[in-house]
Each structure stands twice: as C-alpha cells, then as structure tokens.
Amino acid sequence: MAIKIKNLEQISSEYTSKQYVYKDLSLDLGLTKISAPGFKLPAPGGDIKASFDLTAIGNSLVNLFNTLPGQRFLFPEYGLDFRQFLFSPITVGNGELIGRKIYNGIKIYEPRVNPLKVKVEADEDNNQYNITVILEIPVLNTSTETQFILDIKKQQFTQVPNQNPNFTNK
C-alpha cells in the first residue's frame, strides 16, 4: 500500500500542469514561520520545497560536489573527493586537477547534462577556487553557464546565485 501525502499530491498536480521536465524535492525540510503577536506557528504546507528543470540540475550538481564517495549507503561510489586539496596550496595546477575531477564526475553521475567546459580560477586571497561550468542540457534544448565556489577552509561547494542566467536555446 502506498503512502499518500496530500501536500505532495497538490504540489505534484500543480507542477505537472506547468510541463516541467525535471522535478526534485528538497531534502532540507524546514518550517515557514508566521509572525503574529505572541505566536510563531508553522505555515501549513510550508515545509515542502521543490526545484524544477535548471534549478533541479544545479542542486544535483551541488549534491554531487559536496558528497564524498561512501556517504550514500545505497550508492557508495557516488560523489567527488576533494579532501586532497585541503592542505594544498591554491594554485593554477591544482585548479586544473579540480576542473578535470568535476568534468569527469559530471559525465559519470549527471546523465541529464553534457559538460562542455569547466573553468577553474584560483583565488588565493579568499582561499577558494571560483569555478564556471558550461553545460548542455539536450532534453531542454538549452546550454547554461553556472558558477560555483569551492571554499578550501570549509571544504564546501556553493552555487553562486545567478541574477541573469546565461541560457541559450539551440
């Protein structure tokens, strides 16, 4: 017997009508608070977040970059290991190694996209690498350019919010 969650059914029917190709639920559940004098109540349905198409792919890439191989119980080989760069100097050479690792990881673990180019710039002053990934998304007939930051101190990838995404239709 399947478990049915009314909030998910409502969201599913709403977004199915919008014809998105890729749909993912966020695993970071949170409650939206309503501000009222003396009360802080969770908003009904405010804890389910979804991402679609390009946002879903971007979230998937962030998950890939931040997951170490062995962390996912049912898919132990999934993820990229950047720990070798933790105490290494921030250099152009190490940036090239990171770029190759990202390119190959995307080719292996993200079948929705074709990586066209990965550009990594060493930013010694901020102890990070600035990464630009250019992707082709065949199903959406689109190419996009996405920026990430690899913070060496935190050993964490973050996606840079893009005010004007560079999408091109073929």
Per-residue model confidence (pLDDT) at position 111: 93
Do 148 and 159 form a contact (C-beta atoms < 8 A)?
A: yes
- Averaged over 61-68, what is the pLDDT? 91
Per-residue model confidence (pLDDT) at position 58: 86
Helix axes 53-66, 92-109, angle to 10 degrees: 120
Provide the domain count of the chain: 1
Tell me if 86 is assigned to some domain.
yes
> What is the domain extent for residue 72?
6-169
Tell me if 1 is assigned to some domain.
no
Q: What percent of the chain has pLDDT over 90?
A: 42
Average pLDDT, the chain: 80
Tell me if 53 is assigned to some domain.
yes
Question: pLDDT at residue 47 above 90?
Answer: no
Q: What angle do CA 122, 125, 131 make, to 5 degrees?
A: 30
- Averaged over 157-170, what is the pLDDT? 62
User: Looking at residue 152, which CATH number applies to its domain?
Assistant: 3.10.450.40
